[in-house]
């Protein structure tokens, strides 16, 4: 209540009402209201693309590489429906099916959708693991950009539109970069893309913390399947994250879309239900990160994060960096004494508690305010 009164006094009643309405919308309508376009926006996008094809819609074609393996029919249909219902026709879904003979319904369902939508391409492959199967899907791709997906995912109607417009508006940069979308904790304050290069302090924290991203990259400039060796079977379980790390190393940065552009569904045997279903995933993720550190000349130890499928790099301290400690203080001499005593190291062989016998580390200094 105090905040509302102060806001009304400082910025007026209209601002307070607007803020209050925003709070109610976020609080009672959840992530859908915060992260997804409204009905009018979706209708406008669909109307703009009505009657258009991938060739004349004005957006680059994005080939989405998806391996299939004994996918439950209900999940497969939802996945395919979410692709068919995109507001833009610039997507191409490339499916490499490694399902065994006991699951003929996978091919049957895909063929059913193929008859209705020519943007779905399909081939049967021998099962060699998710990384090799994804590489097989890449041979079907004809789009200017490539993306990765699995059937545990499900899209809202907007990704192909958002990816396509990003590539057009940032052509000079995106032509040599990847773009990625945050999926869990992205900020709803803006829908504008943002450029992060590898020299940014935030980039190592983003790309090394969790593999919860949807990535697209230009097929002609990246040529990842040929130049980078595609997805590596030794990183099965974290193969997409591994590929993303290697792409970042080559491209120098990424364009970030602060929107949720896919959902990750939970079913038995999927890592979306927890890493217990596939315990090798954590080991593969740590290997991908450790290899990334080795390739980029960084040193550190890869550790588990606070939550499943998150990781933390404990960076090695190189050299003898200076540490500046700022201590604001006013009249609290006792607290200041304890603070300084805890910082300053006691020289060996001394027993006095006086500050005069302490020495500050030679690589740092204190700033008392």
Question: What is the C-alpha to C-alpha distance for residues 223 and 144, in angstroms, rounded to an integer?
Answer: 11
The token pair that represents 49 in the structure block: 């693309």
170 and 228: one domain?
Answer: yes
Which tokens sit at 283?
A: 């080991």
Q: Which H/E stretch holds residue 96?
A: strand 91-97
CATH number of the domain enclosing 50: 3.90.550.10
Residue 299 is encoded by which pair of tokens? 């040193």
SS3 247: helix
Nearest to 148 by CA among 67, 57, 38, 45: 67
How many domains would you assign to the chain?
A: 3
Element of type H or E holding 7: helix 2-11
Q: Are 186 and 159 members of one domain?
A: yes
Q: Give the tokens for residue 36.
A: 């997804």
**Dihedrals phi, psi of 249, to nearest 5 degrees:** -60, -35
pTM over 0.75: no
DSSP string for 133-156: HHHHHHTT--SSEEEE--TTEE--
H or E segment and range at residue 128: none
Residues 177 and 237 reside in one and the same domain: yes
User: 96 with 67: CB under 8 angstroms?
Assistant: yes
Same-domain check for residues 123 and 227: yes
Same domain, residue pair 136 and 282: yes
Claim to verify: residue 29 and residue 47 sit in the same structural domain: no
pLDDT per residue, tens digit, the chain (369 aa), is: 566 777 777 778 888 788 778 777 665 555 554 556 777 888 888 888 888 888 889 898 999 999 999 999 999 999 999 999 999 999 999 999 999 999 999 999 999 999 999 999 999 999 999 999 999 999 999 988 888 898 988 888 888 888 888 777 655 444 444 555 544 433 444 455 555 565 565 566 666 655 555 667 766 544 556 677 788 999 988 888 888 888 877 776 677 777 778 887 776 655 555 555 567 888 898 999 999 889 888 888 998 888 777 888 888 888 888 888 888 888 888 888 888 888 776 554 444 444 444 444 445 566 666
* Domain extent at residue 362: 323-368
Q: Note whether 252 and 344 are same-domain residues.
A: no
Q: What is the distance of C-alpha 3 from the center of its chain?
A: 34
Q: Are residues 12 and 98 in the same domain?
A: no
């Amino acid at each position: 209540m105090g905040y509302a009164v102060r806001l009304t006094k400082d910025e007026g009643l209209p601002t307070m009402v607007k803020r209050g309405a925003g709070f109610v919308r976020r609080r009672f309508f959840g992530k859908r209201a915060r992260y997804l376009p409204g009905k009018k926006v979706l209708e406008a996008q669909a109307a703009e693309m009505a009657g258009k094809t991938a060739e004349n819609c004005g957006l680059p074609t994005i080939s989405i590489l998806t391996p299939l393996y004994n996918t439950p029919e209900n999940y497969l249909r939802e996945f395919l429906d979410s692709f068919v219902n995109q507001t833009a026709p610039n997507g191409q879904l490339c499916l490499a099916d490694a399902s065994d003979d006991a699951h003929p319904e996978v091919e049957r369902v895909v063929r059913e959708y193929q008859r209705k939508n020519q943007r779905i391409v399909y081939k049967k492959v021998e099962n060699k693991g998710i990384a090799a199967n994804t590489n097989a899907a890449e041979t079907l791709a004809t789009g200017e950009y490539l993306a990765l997906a699995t059937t545990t995912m499900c899209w809202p109607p907007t990704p192909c539109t958002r990816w396509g417009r990003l590539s057009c508006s940032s052509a000079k940069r995106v032509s040599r970069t990847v773009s990625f979308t945050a999926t869990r904790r992205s900020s709803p304050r803006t829908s504008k893309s943002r450029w992060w290069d590898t020299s940014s302090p935030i980039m190592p924290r983003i790309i090394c913390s969790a593999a919860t991203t949807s990535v697209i990259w230009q097929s002609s400039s990246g040529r990842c399947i040929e130049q980078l060796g595609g997805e590596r079977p030794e990183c099965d379980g974290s193969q997409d994250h591994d590929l993303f790390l290697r792409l970042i190393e080559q491209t120098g940065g990424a364009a970030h879309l602060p929107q949720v552009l896919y959902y990750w569904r939970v079913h038995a045997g999927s890592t979306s239900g927890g890493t217990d279903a596939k315990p090798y995933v954590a080991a593969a993720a740590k290997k991908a990160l450790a290899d990334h550190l080795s390739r980029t000349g960084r040193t550190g130890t890869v550790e588990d994060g606070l939550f499943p499928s998150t990781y933390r790099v404990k960076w090695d301290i190189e050299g003898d960096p200076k540490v500046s400690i700022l201590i604001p203080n006013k009249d609290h001499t006792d607290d200041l004494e304890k603070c300084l005593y805890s910082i300053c190291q006691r020289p060996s062989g001394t027993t006095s508690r006086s500050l005069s016998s302490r020495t500050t580390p030679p690589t740092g200094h204190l700033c008392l305010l």
